[in-house]
A and B are shown apart, each in its own frame.
Chain A
């Protein structure tokens, strides 16, 4: 197990909160991360903005565009993480091109230096992941894999075997963003995955409201909320984001 795995609480469903790094400015992100951490997020995901985020819906696309306009770079975002020394472990979520551009080993070293615990790369499936996974592991960082509703049982088992930190189950076939309803077979899929996964299983994509989080209580080790938090922060600033985190925390208790 790792610091990241251990961050998922026993006996309750953990809360994973996402913030787009640098949206709309680096200073705003610093304030937001501190607030989310203070409200008791169990894990914090920081989005590394990319020009062409194919796994993201309109909310996170717009946030990435604002962040890039605001001058966000990987180096500057990691400086913030290093300086804040958050209570919750931090996971960097970004796309493969900026990682490769920096170099896998340099990326791993930079994350390690900043005290980041894990990385999620949504466009890096199992077949392509081995080199980066090894470089990250060398720096003590977990590569968190994703499993989708379309992933068959054998493939899910193969992905779970390589999972470090936690396993990210994508609740819906689609891109990130709020959904009105979650799929009917979600509970069954989560039960299967938790049975075969050596690490905690968190579920994300589409979860936006405390009621949806409450419905997943006990079914997953963690619930990831991304677009809804980014939207709350964009519309109502840090107070609105903090209020949503409080509501989600209460719903999972």
Chain B
């Protein structure tokens, strides 16, 4: 009999509370029209996660279709190139089907949509990885799929736009605002408000109104569960640190959640510093934002002094977002999460270092996590007996045009 993966193993902990709050963050700040749909979603999710048939079906798909568990690769040459003395281990979500961790979430949500009798699925996407993962599961389960994507992202992530089309999804370019992920999400919410009775909204980040931050975290927590098991086998213990890039934060909370109660494991989130944290052109909401309300929940947010949301900037479309998931905001305030940042230029260097030392072309999002490794606190970075796991959330095929253009003659 096939092994069932350790899904939804976390105890129903302190957070979120019954109102969907993680401390001061989270909640439900959406039009009244959507509240009954969110209630339905929450009860459908609670029923599904308690249902052995749902868990077994998802577990089988994650193994036989998506390719879980993903490997944990030692990266000694990368450590050497970056001047890191700790042992580096890469959690290879880039090897998951569709090329990123996003499929963990969309498989679970699409099965949930089917249980709820919804035939139409909508999604927002920035880098296109969540859009591709949603289009993929909709093809697999025979569901109609519409993906909203900012015009700027449609241009810079062209391969993923083509993929979504080939998978049978309709990509709707969004012209409004900054024409990136933020605006795609606005438009997806408007679609949901309009078609809420027939449509399932598959959010890709651990963000949005309750229960999405909980739902996405539970579906992505398999990453951290596997890291824990693989480290136990390989090291005989938990890692000393886990590092992940943070846009909305789904790969980060997925990798971190298992370790939150274990204070010996330090958790590092790496935000996009864009052209520099002081340039005003970045996506570093935890580093430089203030608490605010966007896309249905309260969380750290890049905003003006009048409370208008400002446009983020990052070379990486997946990190080009002015908000962040509410649980990460809570973990930051609780000082459980340590926040670092990497600029566009540093991410490109990180990308190149990983390519040349380990033979892996990673996504620009994940390259931020690589780029932050030399910035880890010395007691982690320079300890030869320490083990640091980096969540390599996606692969870089989609970014080749951006990278080649940015590296220019340097290549």
Contact = CB atoms under 8 A, between A and B. Distances in A.
A73 B291 CA distance: 20
B192 to A, nearest CB: 10
Given A101-B292, A151-B35, A151-B36, A52 B182 contact: yes
A170 B32 contact: yes
Given A125-B30, A148-B32, A100 B190 contact: no
Contact of A175 (B19, B30, B190, B290): B190
B308 A50 contact: yes
B30 A54 contact: yes
A23 B330 CA distance: 38
B293 A155 contact: no
Contact of B309 (A97, A122, A125, A126): A97
A211 B387 CA distance: 71
Interface stretch (B63-71, B298-306, B365-373, B397-405): B298-306
A150 B36 contact: yes
**Listed residue (B28, B177, B190, B309) with the most chain A CB atoms within 10 angstroms of its CB:** B190
Given A54-B295, A97-B301, A150-B37, A128 B307 contact: no
Contacts of B33: 148-151, 170, 173-174
A96 interface: yes
Contacts of B37: 150
B197 interface: yes
A97 to B, nearest CB: 4
A159 B36 CA distance: 13
B303 A123 contact: no
Nearest to B35: A125
A127 interface: yes
Contacts of A175: 190, 193-194
B294 A52 contact: yes
A55 B35 contact: no
A247 interface: no
Interface in B312-361: none
B230 interface: no
B8 interface: no
Interface in A85-127: 95-102, 122-127
A226 B3 CA distance: 58
Given A61-B176, A173-B194, A174-B194, A98 B29 contact: no
A53 B183 CA distance: 10
Contacts of A95: 293
A123 B31 contact: yes
Nearest to B29: A123
Interface string A141-169: 00001111111100100010000000000
Q: Which of A61, A126, A127, A150 has the most chain B CB within a 10 Å cutoff?
A: A150
Contact of B28 (A100, A127, A174): A127
B286 to A, nearest CB: 17
A224 to B, nearest CB: 15
B312 to A, nearest CB: 12
B27 interface: yes
B1 to A, nearest CB: 43
B62 interface: no
Chain B binding surface SS class: mixed
B177 A52 contact: yes
Interface band, chain B: 35 or more
Contacts of A126: 32, 35
Contacts of A155: 35-36
Contacts of B291: 100
Interface string B6-32: 000000000000010000000111111
A97 B30 contact: no
Interface in A168-185: 170, 173-175
Among A51, A101, A159, max chain B CB count under 10 A is at A51
A230 interface: no
B292 A125 contact: no
A151 B38 CA distance: 12
Contacts of A127: 19, 27-28, 35
Given A52-B186, A73-B306, A146-B32, A123 B193 contact: no
B55 to A, nearest CB: 30
Nearest to B178: A51
Interface string B50-77: 0000000000000000000000000000
Interface string A212-236: 0000000000000000000000000
A123 to B, nearest CB: 5
Contact of B31 (A57, A146, A159): A146
Nearest to A74: B306
A80 interface: no
A127 B209 CA distance: 12
A152 B190 contact: no
A240 interface: no
A146 B35 CA distance: 12
B196 interface: yes
Contacts of B107: none
Contacts of B295: 52, 54
A90 to B, nearest CB: 20
A253 to B, nearest CB: 31
B197 A173 contact: yes
Given A54-B295, A97-B292, A127-B19, 15 more contacts: A52-B309, A53-B186, A54-B186, A97-B293, A97-B301, A100-B293, A100-B307, A101-B307, A123-B31, A126-B35, A145-B32, A146-B31, A155-B35, A155-B36, A175-B194
20 contacts: A51-B308, A51-B309, A52-B295, A54-B193, A57-B190, A73-B306, A97-B301, A101-B307, A123-B29, A123-B296, A125-B32, A128-B29, A146-B31, A147-B32, A150-B32, A150-B35, A173-B194, A174-B193, A175-B190, A175-B194
The 6 closest A-B pairs by CB, nearest first: A101-B307, A98-B307, A148-B33, A174-B194, A51-B308, A148-B32
